[in-house]
Every structure is written in structure tokens, then in C-alpha cells.
Amino acid sequence: MEYILTAEEMKNADEYTIRNYHVPSQVLMERAALKFVAAIIHDKFSLKRVLVVCGSGNNGGDGLAIARLLHERKVKVDILLAGSPVHMGTETMQNFESVKSYGIPIRSSVKDDEYSLIIDAIFGIGLNRELEKDTAAFIEGINSFKDNGAKIVSVDIPSGVNATTGEVMGAAIKADMTVTFAYYKRGLLMYPGAGYAGRIMLANIGVTDESLSENKPSLKFVTRKDFLSVKGLKRPDNSNKGTFGKVLIIAGSETMGGCVYLSALSCFKAGAGMVRVFTHRSNRQLINEKLPEAIVDTYDEAIDHEKLAEAINWADVTAIGPGIGKDKRAKELFEFAFFKSTGPLVIDADALVILKKYKLTLKKGIDRDIIITPHVAEFSRFLEKDREEIKKELIGETIECAKTFGLTCVTKDARTIISSRKGECCINITGNNGMAVAGMGDCLFGIIAAFLGRGLNAFESAVYACYLHGSAGDAARLKTGRSGLLVTDLIGELKTLLEAVDE
């Protein structure tokens, strides 16, 4: 897994590299400029005429070095200063004197139809305050260059985006691409900042994991390489259906049948050996016709406790929630699953409402793997906190919830956050907005249950299930587009992605 840093963590890593490995800050600045120029050439941005917009901080210093390197390549480049030279630090001033010596034009004003490429080097990761009105207006003016066909590439982070939270500090550059250095920053991946970054390219400038010292960042993300190397997802030749787990899915009600079908189908497609559903009798025909591989137990007005207990004892993993409702029967189903099952338990949707009653039980400690999968509204109700306040601190709230209640928390939003009870935390960066459609949560629920059944621990199951779910959504989008993408399109991609693990 790869680290994702806050602004402070990145600053500390830079300083550690300079102090302990004796790499001068000017060298890091030059490396950043070299990598940036290589990136825009690699991605074939038009260099017909380039404007580099520079602030007076280190980000502006990067921009000035970039302007010099482009000038050396005979690119017609101008510089527009967005800050006063009086406020420049030593390294930035050195680059400022350099561009002046080379005779690179420094403009006080420019026309918005003169340039093919705008390089944004106004503010870097240190921005943590709301922009003044004239500065915000200046940034919006730079964005307007795009109206005449110019592309914008940001240096490290789009100016105006908070590198730690992703907040827009009054206004922000709307980049086509961001070349970020050393590590991804939280603000590039969390919304709304992620919506301003465009395509993100990571450039190595020599700040490595050794520079993270003893205090490693708390947030990571999964790469394709990580996913393909998960041993628990490789299917051994000497195996049978029991090898890959027996999963019980308790879902659905009289008017909610699709959720139990989608959950069970996803569970099978994610590699579970056996899937058993416990649902209302009105859903039996649907499951028998659409998914004859599943074992089906049903209830009517009254729940057969003996049958439910037998199903729970049969299962390696129990998963409950989608479509069960919130009535007396739903509570009965939940209490059976919560108190009678002993293996891993996945709790989603309606079951999260009922779980709220048992928060004190969770706090006292339960010696088993529990995964909850709330979307932000459900998370807000579970924690009894304001939804918008939670969204602002989604990472911190997810970690705190997992640690407080001794479980793995999967908080679903435009970026899904996953935390273990130990405080390990990942952000899932796969997926797309075409997945904002009914049934996607049921699918993820089934995949998580399958991975638990296949022997992954709770945190691994949640993290890799989210990665697979989003990757399948991305694969489906390439075939169907975003509008009209259905969960069944996504489920159809799971097989191919999982097959790659076995290759």
C-alpha cells in the first residue's frame, strides 16, 4: 500500500530529507521542476506558448525553475507573478534571479487568448487560510483562460485547495492535470479538492519512505500491484467449495427482493464457495430462478428460530442488513445474527439502524470481527452527529468510530474510507460517479462477505473489496459509460479482475 500525506506530514518529510540526508532544498526544487517538465512533455501538452503563474513561496520557486527549464528547451514562455519578490525565500529568490538573468519575460498583465498552456505555481501545500477576495478573483481569472482553449497543469496541488482536507479555500485552480511530488496528498484525493486536480501524476523527487521517520502516515491506498498479490484471493488447486467459505446473507423483505439477489450474486462472483440466504418467502422464486446455486431459507409472518439458528451455525460468515426493514421481525433477525453468530459479521443498511441500540455493547468489547458499511447519512445517524460536519472530518470520524466500537468501519462516500479497530486507515481511490445508482451497496456488501469467507481478516476484506468494487465499476464504465451504468454491469466485471489474481 502507498502512503497518503497531510500537508504537515509532507513538510516534515521534506525537512527530514534536507536535514538528515543532506539533500539541499534547492536540489529538491530542481528535481521537482525537472519531473514536472518531463510530465507535461510525456502527456503531450501543447508548448506553443506557455504562461507560468508564480506565487512568492516554494511553489512559486518550483514554477520559476520550470519556466527556466522550458526556456532552455526553446519554448516561448512568460512568467506572471502572483506575489511580491519581497516575500520570496532564499531558494525561490535564486530562481527568480535566474529567470531574470535568462531574460525570460515577466509580465504584469496578460491576454487570456495568448497561451496554449498555463502552469499553476501560485500556492502549494502550505495554504491553510481562506483566500482574500482579490486573490480568489485572480484565480478565477486564470481559470477563464480555459475558455479560449488553454490547458492548466498545477504544480503539486491546484492553488486554492487545502492539501490536508481537500477544501476549496474560497477559489481554486481547475486543473487538467496535477503533477504532485513524492507522495499523494489527502487534498488531492478527497472531495471537493479531487474535483479540481484533474488527472494526477506522481513524481519521485528523492523524498522516500526513509524520510517519514518514526511517525508513519496513518492513511494509505491500495494499488493494483497490492491487489494482485493478495495470497488469500488466489485459488489453490487442491481445494473444494468449503475451502472458499460458507456465507449466510440475511437480507430482503416483502417489498425488497432485489437486494438479497444482488448481495448473494456478488458474493458468489467474488469467489465464495457456498452462499445461503435467509429472506422473506416472497423472494424464494426470484432466488431459485436467478441464482439456483444459492441455498434458500425463508420466513413468513413468524421467524423460525430453529431454522435461523441452524443457518447461522452452518455459516463461516454472517452478513445482515440490506432490505430487512426496521420492524419487529427485522430486530429479531438482527439480534439473532448479532448475539448467536460467532464468526465474522457484516452489518449494512437497515441493520445499522438497529445496531445503534447496541453501541454500548460494542464499546464493552466483542471478541470477533465486525464490519459496518454505512454511507454518510447512515454514519451520521449512527454517530448522532451532523452530516456536514462528518463529511468535513470523514477520515478522522471513521478512524474514531472504528477504534471506539472495536470494529472495521467502511464509510461510503465519493471516496470511501476504511479503518480498522487499531486505527489502520485506507482511502479507496477506485470507482466513478456512474456507480451512484441503486444496488451498489448491496454488491459491496456481498464482496466483503465473500472475502471474509475466503479467509482474509476484517480490514483486508474491507479494503480489497472496496478496491475490487471500484475497479469493476471503472471497467464497466469503459463499456457502458457513466449514465445508465447498472450494478449488474459491475458484477459482470468481477470475474475478469479476480482471474488476474490467479495468473
Strands (DSSP E) contained in 429-479 are none
C-alpha cell at 237: 488447486
Domain with CATH 3.40.50.10260 in the chain: 2-221
ω into 192 cis (within 30 of 0): yes
Burial 462-486 (b: 16+ CB within 10 A, else e): bbbbbbbbbbbbbbbbeeeeeeebb
Per-residue model confidence (pLDDT) at position 503: 82
Q: Which amino acid is at 178?
A: T
φ, ψ of residue 66 to 5 degrees: the values are -65, -45
Helices (H) and strands (E) in the chain, counts: 20, 19
Mean pLDDT of the chain: 96
Q: What is the largest CA-CA distance in the chain?
A: 86
**Confidence (pLDDT) at 425:** 98
Least confident of 58-67, 206-215, 297-306: 206-215
Cα–Cα distances (Å) from 408 to 386, 422, 459, in that order, read: 21, 9, 6
Query: What pLDDT does 113 receive?
Result: 85
Single-letter amino acid code for the residue at 352: L
Query: Whose grid coordinates read 451455525?
Result: 313
Measured CA to CA, the distance from residue 119 to residue 156 in angstroms comes to 11
Q: Is the pLDDT of residue 491 over 80?
A: yes
Percent of the chain predicted with pLDDT > 90: 96
pLDDT digit string (tens) for 263-317? Answer: 999 999 999 999 999 999 999 999 999 999 999 999 998 999 999 999 999 999 9
Q: How many CB atoms lie within 10 A of CB 102?
A: 12
Of 71, 75, 66, nearest to 34 (Cα)?
66
Q: What is the pLDDT of residue 502?
A: 87
d(CA 271, CA 234): 10
| pLDDT single digits (tens) 109-124 | 898 789 999 999 999 9
Q: What is the per-residue pLDDT for 111?
A: 86
Which residues sit opposite 274 in a β-bridge? 246
Instruction: Give the separation between CA 53 and CA 107, rounded to whole angstroms.
Output: 10
Is residue 191 over pLDDT 90? Answer: yes
φ/ψ (deg, to 5) at 468: -65, -45
Residues paired with 346 in a beta bridge = 319, 371
How far, CA to CA in Å, does 335 sit from each of 329, 351, 440, 477?
10, 10, 25, 39
Q: What is the pLDDT of residue 309?
A: 97
- The per-residue pLDDT for 52 is 98
pLDDT of residue 112: 79
Among 162-176, 207-221, 322-336, name the one with the lowest average pLDDT. 207-221
DSSP label at 503? -
Cα–Cα distance measured from residue 420 to residue 416, given in angstroms and rounded to the nearest whole number: 14
- Check residue 330 and give its pLDDT: 97
Say which CATH class 2-221 falls into: alpha beta
Amino acid at 380: S
Helices 25-42 and 58-72 pack at an angle, to 10 degrees, of 60
Reduced to 3 states (helix: H, G, I; strand: E, B; else coil), residue 28 is helix
In this predicted model, what pLDDT tens digit does every residue of 234-263 receive, in sequence order? 999 999 999 999 999 999 999 999 999 999
pLDDT digits (tens, 9 = 90+) for 381-436: 999 999 999 999 999 999 999 999 999 999 999 999 999 999 999 999 999 999 99
Once rounded to an integer, what is the mean pLDDT over residues 351-364?
94
CB distance 168 to 192 below 8 Å:
yes
- Give the sign of the dihedral formed by CA 250, CA 254, CA 255, CA 261: positive
pTM: 0.95
Q: Cα–Cα distances in Å, from 339 out to 101, 368, 404, 420, 445?
A: 76, 11, 20, 21, 20
Report d(CA 435, CA 475) in Å as an integer.
Answer: 11
Decide: 249 and 319 in contact? Cβ < 8 Å.
yes
Q: What is the pLDDT of residue 395?
A: 97
pLDDT at position 213: 77
Please check the confidence at residue 473 and state whether its pLDDT lies above 80: yes
Assess whether pLDDT exceeds 80 at residue 225: yes
Contact at 8 Å (CB) between 235 and 18? no
User: What residues contact residue 92 under an 8 Å CB cut-off, 6+ apart?
Assistant: 56, 57, 58, 60, 61, 64
Q: Within the chain, which residue ranges are assigned CATH 3.40.1190.20? A: 237-502
The CATH class given to the 237-502 domain equals alpha beta
